[in-house]
Structure 1
Amino acid sequence: MATVVRGVILVGHGGIPKGCPQELVTKLKRLEAQRRAAKMPPSPEERELDSKIRQWPRTPETDPYRSGLEAVATRLRANLG
């Protein structure tokens, strides 16, 4: 008898957490636009800013979307058996 494997792919769009300085986001967006216009790879500065923003502390208060998505994932995982 064949083994049945069930799965779900849950995708979230992500976002900027509350409390992340707007100056960081603005600078990153500016660097991204310049890079795309020049058709160049990301600069070390752009990669550093991107990493800093992605690693910004996230809690249910600063990123309710992420918390909600994680709650959905927990429920789905329990139902997949």
Structure 2
Amino acid sequence: IAGRNKIIEGDINTAIKRIKDWASPPNARRLNFKTPCADSGFCSDCNSPDRICRIITIIERKPRLTDFEVILINEDLGF
């Protein structure tokens, strides 16, 4: 389930930039992670053990033999 604010206009690089610059810093701060982005408000491509953006998942097509749904809600949800 994702809110409409997760949809971006642009390419994959724009989407990754959104994750690192817009979503990760406030989430790291909210979760009290000890990361540079929690302190500064922007990504410094850190190597912190608490790094919140260490996994970025990209799904190009439905996995074989797997049911998969993405539900988009017409509201801004989260960061």
TM-score (normalizing by structure 1): 0.26
Q: Which has the higher helix share?
A: 1
TM-score (normalizing by structure 2): 0.27
Please tell me whether Structure 1 or Structure 2 has the larger radius of gyration of its CA atoms.
1
